[in-house]
Amino acid sequence: MVRRATLTAPTRVLAAVFLTVVALGTTACATDKRPPDPDAVAAGATLYEQSCASCHGSDLRGTDKGPPHLSEVYASDHHSDDSFRSAITNGAPSHHWDFGDMPPVPSLSDEDITSILAFVRQQQATQELEAYPPG
């Protein structure tokens, strides 16, 4: 009996630690998945229209000058937020499509780019993505 008690005590501690980790993990996930700030999305929509839509389309479905951002290839698991930042700041050489190089887009602040990303990610999460490669 005494032996059994000494064996179960550590088990209870382990169970408590396990439950705490699960609870913390759930909280972290909930925070990561929270929807983007609606103000940033709205600001991003305006900036996208001004700076990106001429090539990528007002509906993010591309034009004859640039590819659709609603393509699977631009989802965050293929093109991270950093790759968007880099394309805007440095431009992007033609490599996924035949539209030619993307020139850098000057005069957007870090905050502007964060808003554009909030808008693009929100659209990608709510619209149907096109297969890549297309067709």
Residues at the interface with ligand HEC (CB under 6 A):
51-52, 54-56, 65-67, 79, 83-84, 87-88, 92, 94-97, 99-100, 102-103, 105, 116
Cβ distance to ligand HEC smaller for residue 26 or 80? 80
Rounded CA separation 103/90 (Å): 7
Q: CB of 72 within 8 A of CB of 135?
A: no
Nearest approach in angstroms of CB 86 to ligand HEC is 7
Q: Between residues 70 and 105, which has the closer beta carbon with respect to ligand HEC?
A: 105
Closest to ligand HEC by CB, 6 vs 126, is 126
Cβ at position 83, least distance to ligand HEC in Å:
5
C-beta separation of 108 from 34 below 8 A: no
State whether the Cα torsion 102-123-54-67 is positive or negative: positive
User: How far lies 126's CA from each of 21, 51, 73, 115, 121, in Å?
Assistant: 31, 22, 16, 17, 9
Closest by CA position to 89, among listed 107, 75, 72, 71:
107
Looking at the Cβ atoms of 61 and 96, the one nearer to ligand HEC is: 96
Minimum CB–partner distance for residue 39 and ligand HEC (Å): 18
* CB 69 to ligand HEC: min, Å: 7
